[in-house]
């Protein structure tokens, strides 16, 4: 048995199930805000694309995916991130993946050199796949504590020189899960500069990038900043994109990785053995989804409406602020976060995720303790009802 399996922490939802086992939920319909699973309806035109894609099911799909899919993904990224001066090459710089989760995990297995002491850096709190990927690649996670008082900025200047020298991979997430924070261009630029100096790769998880509030100010991305800085061939930069949040297609398991062609080629070589080629139907639907923006703008409008309604209700009761982007709220709890989640479920039948399940104690404390994550993925009426129940619960503490 792989000894590194013993290094894994229980997954957040396993911990939540253990925490709430035996809890007698209130006599109210359940509302789940614990899992970030989009529940808006995907656009109807994708059904036709799925039917057309069935014709390709008589052959094994290739690891690189169809030319049509890679072209659609590259064209979208080139438009979205203004890469006209250095457009992505769909032949060498784009690789389909079966959702960002599997690719974010697999990239560490492909890029971390087990032959020397390795550090994999990540924000804290964080998406748990980063940590699991690092541990199973034989690396040591290094946690960058982020705090609301500093706008969840990554404290890169606090990392010791010895840690930088051992770092082989840095995960970043913008917009952030669970904080909703957006990395600024200066942070991307500093990471790119350090990557060039120390030789590590940057894995930028941008799966929430299309869930923003100002239609005239979409979040910047790693490749966008690399292009602005004139980084040749997006050296040491990889971005991970997904249709789960953008197009409400979590069950399709579709995304892509783009960036440095040398890293893409190494990752492709790994993936030929990994057995993760995207099915033909998924490829056809994905290509159609990347070509359309109208349904994405409509999706953002639905989230704006939910945030306005929920924050208006919760604001007087909880210390909570709107995120910069994404679909999560990250409020501070007036009691222990585990007790808050357990008792809220018992009294109001609303499920939320304790913040400490998404973080680790590190230098400076545990940035997830005393917070909970709320995913505003349910329909508007359910989100309104959940906010009313949470406020009633808090006022009764």
Q: Do 78 and 156 have their domain in common?
A: yes
Q: Do 359 and 220 have their domain in common?
A: no
The residue out of 253, 269, 292 marking a domain boundary is: 292
The better pLDDT of the pair 185, 2 is held by 185
247, part of any domain = yes
Q: Is the dihedral of CA 316, 317, 318, 320 positive or negative?
A: negative
Buried b (16+ CB within 10 A) or exposed e, 308-326: ebbbebbeebbebeebbbb
101, part of any domain = yes
| Total domains in the fold of the chain | 2
Q: What is the CATH number of the domain that holds 86?
A: 3.40.640.10
46, part of any domain = no
- Mean pLDDT within 344-370: 96
Reduced 3-state DSSP string for 320-363: CCCCCECCEECCECCCCHHHHHHHHHHHHCEECEEHHHHCCCEC
Mean pLDDT over each residue of the chain, to the nearest integer: 95
Q: Do 36 and 63 have their domain in common?
A: no
User: For residue 319, what pLDDT is reported?
Assistant: 96
Q: Is the pLDDT of residue 168 over 80?
A: yes
Residue with tokens 């994999």: 120
Q: Is the pLDDT of residue 28 over 90?
A: yes
Q: Do 94 and 211 have their domain in common?
A: yes
Domain of residue 321 covers 3-41+295-395
Which has the closest alpha carbon to 72: 300, 298, 283? 283
Confidence of residue 60 (pLDDT cuts 50, 70, 90): confident
Give the span between the Cα atoms of 158 and 189, in whole angstroms: 17
Question: What is the share, in percent, of the chain residues with pLDDT greater than 70?
Answer: 100
Q: Judge if pTM exceeds 0.85.
A: yes
50, part of any domain = no
User: For residue 387, what pLDDT is reported?
Assistant: 98
51, part of any domain = no
Q: What's the distance, Cα to Cα, between the start and end of the chain in Å?
A: 47
Q: Do 287 and 321 have their domain in common?
A: no
52, part of any domain = no
- Mean pLDDT within 346-368: 95
Q: Which two tokens stand for residue 158?
A: 């606090």
pLDDT digits (tens, 9 = 90+) for 270-309: 999 988 899 999 999 999 999 999 999 999 999 999 999 9
pLDDT digits (tens, 9 = 90+) for 372-381: 999 999 999 9
49, part of any domain = no
Q: Do 282 and 330 have their domain in common?
A: no
Confidence of residue 211 (pLDDT cuts 50, 70, 90): very high
Q: Do 261 and 387 have their domain in common?
A: no
pLDDT digits (tens, 9 = 90+) for 215-269: 999 999 999 999 999 999 999 999 999 999 999 999 999 999 999 999 999 999 9
- Mean pLDDT within 156-177: 98
User: For residue 24, what pLDDT is reported?
Assistant: 79
Confidence of residue 76 (pLDDT cuts 50, 70, 90): very high
Q: Do 27 and 88 have their domain in common?
A: no
Q: Is the pLDDT of residue 25 over 90?
A: no
Q: Is the pLDDT of residue 86 over 80?
A: yes
Q: Is the pLDDT of residue 153 over 90?
A: yes
User: For residue 167, what pLDDT is reported?
Assistant: 98
Q: Report the SS3 class of residue 256.
A: strand
Q: What is the CATH number of the domain that holds 351?
A: 3.90.1150.10
User: For residue 361, what pLDDT is reported?
Assistant: 96
Give the span between the Cα atoms of 191 and 176, in whole angstroms: 16
Other Cβ atoms closer than 10 A to 119? 21
84, part of any domain = yes
What single DSSP character describes residue 55?
G
Q: Is the pLDDT of residue 56 over 80?
A: no
The residue out of 276, 292, 308 marking a domain boundary is: 292
Q: Which two tokens stand for residue 44?
A: 């109807």
Q: Do 78 and 181 have their domain in common?
A: yes
Q: For the chain, how big is the Rg over CA atoms in Å? A: 21
Confidence of residue 90 (pLDDT cuts 50, 70, 90): very high
- Mean pLDDT within 102-113: 97
The residue out of 292, 323, 356 marking a domain boundary is: 292
User: For residue 266, what pLDDT is reported?
Assistant: 97
Q: Is 376 exposed, middle or buried (0-12, 13-18, 19+ CB in 10 A)?
A: buried
Question: What is the share, in percent, of the chain residues with pLDDT greater than 90?
Answer: 91
Which residues, 6+ apart, have CB-to-CB distance to 41 below 8 Å? 248
User: For residue 370, what pLDDT is reported?
Assistant: 98
- Mean pLDDT within 19-41: 92
Give the span between the Cα atoms of 206 and 144, in whole angstroms: 18
- Mean pLDDT within 323-349: 98
User: For residue 52, what pLDDT is reported?
Assistant: 80
Q: Do 287 and 300 have their domain in common?
A: no
Q: Is the pLDDT of residue 365 over 80?
A: yes
Q: Do 111 and 231 have their domain in common?
A: yes
Q: Do 145 and 8 have their domain in common?
A: no
User: For residue 50, what pLDDT is reported?
Assistant: 75
């Amino acid at each position: 048995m792989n000894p590194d399996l013993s290094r894994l922490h229980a997954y957040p939802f396993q911990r939540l199930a253990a925490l709430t086992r035996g809890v007698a939920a209130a006599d109210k319909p359940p509302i789940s805000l614990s899992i970030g699973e989009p529940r808006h309806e995907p656009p109807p035109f994708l059904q036709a694309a799925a039917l057309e894609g069935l014709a390709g099911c008589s052959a094994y799909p290739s690891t690189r995916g169809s030319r049509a899919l890679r072209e659609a993904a590259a064209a979208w990224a080139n438009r979205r991130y203004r890469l006209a001066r250095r457009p992505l090459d769909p032949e060498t710089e784009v690789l389909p993946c079966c959702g960002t989760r599997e690719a974010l995990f697999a990239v560490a297995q492909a890029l971390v050199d087990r032959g020397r002491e390795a550090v994999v850096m990540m924000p804290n709190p964080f998406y748990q796949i980063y940590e699991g990927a690092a541990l199973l690649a034989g690396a040591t996670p290094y946690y960058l504590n982020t705090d609301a008082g500093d706008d969840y900025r990554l404290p890169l200047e606090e990392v010791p020189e010895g840690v930088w020298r051992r770092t082989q991979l840095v995960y970043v997430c913008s917009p952030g899960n669970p904080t909703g924070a957006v990395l600024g261009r200066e942070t991307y630029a500093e990471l790119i500069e350090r990557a060039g100096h120390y030789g590590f790769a940057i894995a930028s998880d941008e799966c929430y990038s299309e869930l923003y509030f100002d239609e005239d100010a979409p979040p910047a991305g790693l490749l966008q900043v690399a292009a602005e800085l004139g980084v040749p061939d997006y050296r040491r930069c990889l971005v991970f994109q997904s249709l789960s949040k953008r197009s409400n297609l979590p069950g399709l398991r579709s995304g892509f990785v783009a960036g440095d062609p040398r890293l893409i080629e190494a990752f492709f070589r790994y993936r030929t053995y990994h057995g993760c080629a995207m099915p033909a139907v998924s490829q056809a639907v994905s290509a159609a989804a990347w070509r359309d923006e109208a349904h994405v703008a409509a999706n953002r409008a639905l989230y704006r409406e939910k945030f306005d309604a929920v924050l208006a209700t919760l604001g007087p009761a909880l210390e909570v602020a709107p995120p910069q982007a994404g679909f999560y709220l990250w409020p501070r709890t007036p009691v222990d976060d585990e007790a808050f989640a357990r008792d809220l479920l018992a009294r109001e039948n609303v499920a939320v995720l304790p913040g400490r399940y998404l973080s680790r104690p590190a230098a400076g404390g545990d940035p997830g303790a005393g917070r909970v994550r709320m995913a505003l993925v349910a329909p508007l009426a359910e989100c309104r009802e959940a906010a009313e129940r949470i406020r009633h619960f808090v006022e009764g503490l």
